[in-house]
Amino acid sequence: MIIINDENSLRIKCEDVLPEEVDFLINLLEIELKESNRLGKFGIGLAAPQIGIYKNIAIVRIDQNYSVNLVNCKIENAYDPVLFKNEGCLSFPGRNEDTTRFQEIHVTNNLVYPHKFVATGLMAVVCQHEIGHLNGDLFFDHMIPKVVKINKVKPNDPCTCNKVDSITGKVKKYKKCCGRNNE
């Protein structure tokens, strides 16, 4: 079962996988990912810590022809930072963030073939996300801060200084108060 909204559990760094553990753990991750998709919680990657196993292993299943097993991996090089819109995570359903990721990564993937590979585009983003889980790193650690929109005061809005008109007893309009000095 996939761990949901438990940041502390998902921040634990993983131990390396032993060769005799690989097949069992890959099978377990595939079962959990398929079950999640069957339940309508669609994902294209899953890391062992997301199911409470703190081993350095994850799977990426973008489609039948575009998948990879990540075993005792690390990213050796990363190139071309890009904005990735609406990145999500099965462990934080309903939360999507704009993140900074890399367009191309070079991965050392121990215990499986190929031992080194280059991932680009969506595969690069998903590999960064899943390898992040193995290191206790979460997708929102890479989010781009949202810009706070400041509402502009319009001439007929109540003045921001809240001065009261002595005749009407109401807060003065901005254009008759502080806005007069800005014209």
What span, in angstroms and rounded, lies between the C-alpha atoms of 33 and 160?
53
Cβ-based burial of 27 (10 A; exposed 0-12, middle 13-18, buried ≥19): exposed
Instruction: Respond yes or no: is residue 130 known to be catalytic.
Output: yes
Take residue 24 and report the two structure tokens written for it: 């069992």
- Beta carbons of 61 and 45 less than 8 angstroms apart: yes
Q: Within 10 A of 114 (CB to CB), how many other CB atoms are there?
A: 10
Write the burial class of residue 11 (CB in 10 Å: 0-12 exposed, 13-18 middle, 19+ buried).
middle
Catalytic choice (32, 87, 97, 130) = 130
- Residues annotated as catalytic are 130
